[in-house]
């Protein structure tokens, strides 16, 4: 392992573009990019000054100048791409959702663990400063007994049937693209739900347009989430306890601010975010920290929880009747 951990980027789409911008802005080393063709890899490499451009994902995985790979392909390709990289001895940071379903997630994590490699879900929100501080507030006990979590991720996205977001064969739909955020947030704050109820509406392509969930917990707490790809909502989140609450501002899953209120509705704490870039580098920092420490799992987004969240998504899909063609 080099003293500076060297990134390879698998995929050249929009999210890869955003990620690399943050990596370079914050001093991370990006040494290679891989795409399905040289014609796609070369412009991406030129745009960011990346020295090595590969015409295939396999070539990227075999590159000796790469230590870890960011998997930024469409959802149904995550498992295969990650396993290929892991088999080549590379650590992986895999875009959310980690895989298409829990069975795939188990396979990826098992391979990573067998080879003592990091396989981290790129749930960037968990690593943002405001979320780190939200967890500190919850752990302090100032909210009292937690009663509820409420969060939405609702956007008015393209309706074009050919768009990836509306294509079932690409894992499109509100749940995997948007719902993963509030559902992961509920897990982060309240842990594993005791019961799950879900309902949904669908587009003509068969992709889910809106998904609402109700989680109940052994403690008596509840979590409400709403994800939608056809309507723009408030995109705020709230954690409510017997002695106070946290209100996270719009857009709650991006770098933002929050306030803590006591039971008398008085503001007792406020956090304002001030970061460089978009904030995607924090998940990169965690990946590198684990690698350099010789660890394969951390506390913020452990692989065991990633698998458990994928099981939750599987249950939701079973209840709303959503199945992907590759399953």
Identify which of 275, 268, 270 has the alpha carbon closest to the alpha carbon of residue 125. Answer: 275
| E strands in the chain | 6-10, 29-34, 52-54, 68-71, 91-95, 119-122, 146-154, 195-202, 208-216, 222-228, 237-241, 244-248, 258-262, 267-271
> Could you give the residue numbers annotated as active site?
96
Q: What does the alpha-carbon distance between residue 247 and residue 225 come to, in Å, rounded to a whole number?
A: 15
Interhelix angle 129-140/180-190, nearest 10 degrees? 30
Q: What's the burial of 294, exposed, middle or buried (CB within 10 Å: 0-12/13-18/19+)?
A: exposed
Dig out the tokens for 298 from the structure: 């951390």
φ, ψ dihedrals at 181, nearest 5°: -70, -60
Give the strands of the sheet with 68-71, arranged side by side. Answer: 52-54, 29-34, 6-10, 68-71, 91-95, 119-122
Instruction: Name the strands in the sheet holding 258-262, side by side, starting at the edge strand that comes first in the sequence.
Output: 195-202, 208-216, 222-228, 146-154, 237-241, 244-248, 258-262, 267-271
CA angle at residue 74 from 39 to 110, to 5 degrees? Answer: 115
Q: How far apart are the first and last CA of the chain?
A: 37
Which positions ≥6 away from 166 have C-beta within 8 Å? 158, 159, 160, 172, 173, 203, 205, 207, 229
Q: At what angle do helices 303-320 and 180-190 cross, to 10 degrees?
A: 120
């Amino acid at each position: 392992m080099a003293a500076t951990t060297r990134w390879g980027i698998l995929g050249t789409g929009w999210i890869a573009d955003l990620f690399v911008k943050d990596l370079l802005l914050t001093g991370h080393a990006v040494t290679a990019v891989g795409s399905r063709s040289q014609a796609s890899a070369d412009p991406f490499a030129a745009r960011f000054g990346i020295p090595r451009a590969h015409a295939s994902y396999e070539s990227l995985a075999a590159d000796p100048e790469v230590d870890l790979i960011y998997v930024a392909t469409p959802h149904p390709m995550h498992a295969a791409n990650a396993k290929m990289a892991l088999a080549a001895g590379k650590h992986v940071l895999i875009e959310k959702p980690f895989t298409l379903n829990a069975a795939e997630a188990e396979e990826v994590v098992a391979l990573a663990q067998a080879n003592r490699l990091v396989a981290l879900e790129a749930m960037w929100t968990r690593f943002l400063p405001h979320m780190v501080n939200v967890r500190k507030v919850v752990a302090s006990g100032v909210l009292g007994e937690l009663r509820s979590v409420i969060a939405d991720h609702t956007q008015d996205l393209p309706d074009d049937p050919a768009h990836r977001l509306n294509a079932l064969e690409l894992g499109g739909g509100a749940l995997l693209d948007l719902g993963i955020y509030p559902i992961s947030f509920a897990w982060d704050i309240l842990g594993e739900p005791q019961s799950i109820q879900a309902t949904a509406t669908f587009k003509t392509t068969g992709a889910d347009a809106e998904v609402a969930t109700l989680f109940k917990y052994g403690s008596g707490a509840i979590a409400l989430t709403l994800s939608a790809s056809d309507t723009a909502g408030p995109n705020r989140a709230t954690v409510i306890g017997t002695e106070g609450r946290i209100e996270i501002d719009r857009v709650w899953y991006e770098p933002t601010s929050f306030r803590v209120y006591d039971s008398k509705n008085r503001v007792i704490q406020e956090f304002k975010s001030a970061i460089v870039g978009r904030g995607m580098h924090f998940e990169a920092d965690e990946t590198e920290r684990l690698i350099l420490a010789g660890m394969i799992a951390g506390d913020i987004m452990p692989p065991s929880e990633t698998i458990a969240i994928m099981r939750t998504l599987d249950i939701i899909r079973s209840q709303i009747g959503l199945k992907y063609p590759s399953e």
